[in-house]
Chains A and B, each alone.
Chain A
Amino acid sequence: MYIQVDNANTFIATGGKPFAAHLPTVVLLHGSGTDHRCWALQARWFAFHGYSVFAPDFPAHSLSEGEALTSIELMAAWLVRALDTTKVDKVHLVGHSQGFLVALEAAGLLGDRLKSVTALATASAIPVNPALVEMAQSNPKVAAEMMLQWGFGSPHQYGASSVPGMQPIGIGTRIMANNPLAIDLIACNAYEKGAEKALQLANIGCPSCVILAAQDRMTPKKEGFKLALDLNTAAQVIADSGHMLPMEAPKESLNLMKKFIQSLET
């Protein structure tokens, strides 16, 4: 569906069913340079199993218009404004990589509207190599290729796909090369409040779930374990997957996501 946020046409994927604010709502937040399609399969499952899905393309990403947001704080504030347009009350925030930094920051803004947070392949801080940022500024296509070469785990480098016949690296490269990757990477690199925000969530008893990838070379799982410690939860690790976890292991990641979120809704 398209909504207006800050006077810009904004695309929100709803998993193939109309958004219904009265249903338990799962907010799926994409990572740097990607878009709602990294959640294509998970979004459909939630939408067809009693949830409303709210998976935005952040401004200037893929199907959304507007100016790219330059900090995690701005992204979090934008997310809350976007949610407000739907009249939705309580939400489960799920974030991949940069998307979880946004979730951490947005959690404080949402207050008691927040039901839970789920982190996928991420950490409380995501430092980015300056050479990658520079490449993303000068040649986004090459930067996207570099990032996905680093981002996907070994099976996908050898052409594996959870969806028969598809090439996730090819799909990801096309999405990333056309989105404001450099701005996202700079925002990730600059965000330093992740650990503090995670501790705050733990202190208020916010339910949390951390799902990590064994072959993650962008946010190594040892950093994910620290995040889980700060959130006062146990991390779960999916084998044979790299940083692009939602696309590399959609079934396995969905199983953990739905088990966690369903446990809070029953």
Chain B
Amino acid sequence: MSKSSYLGADTIALHSGYQPESDHGSRAVPIYQTTSYVFDSVDEASALFNVEQGGHIYSRITNPTVAVLEQRLAALEGGAGAICTASGMSALFVSFFSLCSAGDHIVSAAQIYGSTVTLLKHSLKRFNIDCTFVDINDQQALGAAIQDNTKLVFCESIGNPGLAVSNLPAIAKTAHAQGIPLVVDATFATPYLNNPIEHGADVVVHSVTKWIGGHGVAVGGVVIDGGNFDWLKSGRFPTLTQPYEPFHGMNFWEEFGPAALAMRIRCESMRDIGAAMTPHNAFLLLQGLETLNLRMQQHVSNAQAMVTWLQTQDAVAWVNHPDINAEAHTKALFPKGAGSMLTFGVKGGRDAGAAFINALQLSSNLANVGDSRTLVLHPGSTTHSRLSENDLIAAGIGADLIRVSVGIETLKDIQADFSLGLRAAAKILAQQAEA
């Protein structure tokens, strides 16, 4: 809905949240590799601890370098505030932890990242928080899955690894009609391709490790409070609208309004769980963020070209990318292209797929996405290996699925590398035919 800055996205990525500091005039954001900050007086210390003034106390809670990244990401996504965390998974955990208590319930998209499935299905279950998985674009199923104790609807804007695009406006409408906020993991989209808050999301989460960092050098996450959800009107969120005893009875909604959730996460999760991003990681991730928009242009154009190219290869059985036969909501949400992830299968199934991956020389076989370099993976035997067969089917993961995070190398070099892999896969297929 509302912008947090009047600067363009390219400018925000470079400048927001930091102007040259007064002591030395450092142009780049300095690394405050520091744990703690001197108080002017006992009174000031007391004021900081009691949220009577802003500032830094201890780097588990806030840090000057991390704060720049937080403010920059909040501005890019058009949010009211942001909290950076040690990883994308910890960003998800503190979001769920802040909105849910024992006995509560979550409705989640079925096609999501494997570790998020285990968090929702197994880890939170131990704390008596249940989850129902649905086809998130089936609004009837979504509406029917919402219960009296449901606290949030969760989806990924582009699902991992199935690449289904969530119809955010429709999902938000269904959730909001029942007083439920929509939490969106927008990692695959990045703020360059889509800003979920503009389309109805109430909380946005990123694994900043991926395209935002972009260089495979630091792990981090962020929760962005959209600031538009009326927690009081919903009537389902005592953690935000009733006095919080450990903070002198603070009522986050009454005192901080649009930033209530961000302040709750800051005051509770960062204090009690301590999943803090390190200052050095924040610095590294800021270097990535500053060129995110430029890199994403190349990521997307390379991915689109690879889709077209793969579709012409004899050894390829199928190719999946959200822009192929894109649905209306995909076109509306992703006018610049729906990301740089693609999946495909080679003829010959899992063995041919393994041969493909093993033959690659330029592309890397590893468990990450969003690096500037091209990455490949077989999710069925790695990131999603802990899922049951039914869960794999629900997540859209076949045994032959190869996940590709298309990098920003010269296009012809990626194609040459994939040609090596496809030749190896073709040999397996031929052997299978002979046998």
Binding site for B on A (CB under 8 A): 11, 13, 16-17, 35, 37, 40-45, 48, 62-63, 141, 144-145, 149, 155, 157-167, 169-171, 173-175, 177, 250-251, 254
Cross-chain contact A161 with B71 (CB below 8 angstroms):
yes
Q: Collect the chain A residues with CB atoms within 8 Å of residue B251's CB.
A: 16
Q: Collect the chain A residues with CB atoms within 8 Å of residue B66's CB.
A: 164
Cross-chain contact A167 with B6 (CB below 8 angstroms):
no
The smallest C-beta distance from A29 to any residue of chain B, in angstroms, reads 17
The smallest C-beta distance from B249 to any residue of chain A, in angstroms, reads 7
Q: Collect the chain A residues with CB atoms within 8 Å of residue B56's CB.
A: 164
CA A170 to CA B82, docked complex, whole Å: 11
Cross-chain contact A174 with B257 (CB below 8 angstroms):
yes
CA A43 to CA B18, docked complex, whole Å: 27
> If A37-B256, A164-B56, A165-B262 touch, does A171 touch B50 (CB 8 Å cutoff)?
no
Cross-chain contact A141 with B17 (CB below 8 angstroms):
no
Interface string of B402-427 (1 = CB under 8 A from A): 00000000000000000000000000
CA A174 to CA B17, docked complex, whole Å: 20
Residue of B nearest to A35 (CB): B257
> If A167-B75, A170-B74 touch, does A251 touch B54 (CB 8 Å cutoff)?
yes
The smallest C-beta distance from B26 to any residue of chain A, in angstroms, reads 15
Binding site for A on B (CB under 8 A): 1-7, 12, 15-19, 47, 50-56, 62-64, 66-67, 70-72, 74-75, 78-84, 227-228, 232, 248-251, 254-259, 262, 266
CA A41 to CA B48, docked complex, whole Å: 10
Taking A158-B16, A158-B19, A250-B54 as known contacts, 6 extra A-B pairs with beta carbons closer than 8 A to each other, sorted by chain A number, are A13-B254, A37-B257, A45-B47, A159-B71, A170-B2, A177-B2
Q: Collect the chain B residues with CB atoms within 8 Å of residue A63's CB.
A: 232, 254
CA A173 to CA B53, docked complex, whole Å: 21
Q: Can you name 26 A-B pairs with beta carbons within 8 Å?
A: A13-B255, A42-B52, A44-B51, A48-B52, A145-B2, A145-B3, A155-B19, A158-B15, A159-B16, A159-B18, A161-B67, A162-B55, A164-B64, A165-B74, A165-B262, A166-B81, A167-B81, A170-B74, A170-B81, A171-B259, A173-B2, A173-B3, A173-B4, A174-B228, A250-B54, A251-B55
Q: Collect the chain B residues with CB atoms within 8 Å of residue A163's CB.
A: 54, 81
The smallest C-beta distance from A135 to any residue of chain B, in angstroms, reads 15
CA A42 to CA B52, docked complex, whole Å: 6
Cross-chain contact B227 with A174 (CB below 8 angstroms):
yes
Cross-chain contact B4 with A175 (CB below 8 angstroms):
no
Across the A-B interface, the 4 shortest Cβ-Cβ residue pairs: A159-B16, A170-B4, A163-B54, A164-B67
CA A161 to CA B251, docked complex, whole Å: 21
Q: Collect the chain A residues with CB atoms within 8 Å of residue B62's CB.
A: 164-165
CA A37 to CA B255, docked complex, whole Å: 6
CA A254 to CA B258, docked complex, whole Å: 22
User: Out of B4, B82, B255, which one reaches A16, CB within 8 Å?
Assistant: B255
Cross-chain contact A166 with B71 (CB below 8 angstroms):
yes
Residue of A nearest to B197 (CB): A170
Residue of A37, A165, A169, A175 contacting most chain B CB atoms (<10 Å): A165
Cross-chain contact B83 with A165 (CB below 8 angstroms):
yes
Residue of B nearest to A170 (CB): B4
Cross-chain contact A162 with B72 (CB below 8 angstroms):
no
> If A165-B70, A165-B74, A166-B259 touch, does A160 touch B79 (CB 8 Å cutoff)?
no
Q: Collect the chain B residues with CB atoms within 8 Å of residue A144's CB.
A: 2
Residue of B7, B62, B70, B254 contacting most chain A CB atoms (<10 Å): B254
CA A157 to CA B266, docked complex, whole Å: 23
Cross-chain contact A169 with B47 (CB below 8 angstroms):
no
Residue of B nearest to A18 (CB): B249
CA A40 to CA B70, docked complex, whole Å: 21
Q: Collect the chain B residues with CB atoms within 8 Å of residue A16's CB.
A: 248-251, 255
> If A158-B15, A161-B71, A165-B83 touch, does A45 touch B54 (CB 8 Å cutoff)?
no
Cross-chain contact B19 with A170 (CB below 8 angstroms):
no
CA A26 to CA B49, docked complex, whole Å: 22
The smallest C-beta distance from B32 to any residue of chain A, in angstroms, reads 11
CA A43 to CA B84, docked complex, whole Å: 27
Cross-chain contact A165 with B80 (CB below 8 angstroms):
no
CA A13 to CA B249, docked complex, whole Å: 13
Cross-chain contact B67 with A171 (CB below 8 angstroms):
no
User: Out of A17, A40, A42, A166, which one reaches B262, CB within 8 Å?
Assistant: A166
> If A13-B255, A159-B16, A163-B54 touch, does A169 touch B71 (CB 8 Å cutoff)?
no
CA A48 to CA B257, docked complex, whole Å: 20
Q: Collect the chain B residues with CB atoms within 8 Å of residue A13's CB.
A: 254-255
Residue of A nearest to B17 (CB): A159
Cross-chain contact A171 with B254 (CB below 8 angstroms):
no
Cross-chain contact A170 with B79 (CB below 8 angstroms):
yes
Q: Collect the chain A residues with CB atoms within 8 Å of residue B1's CB.
A: 141, 174, 177
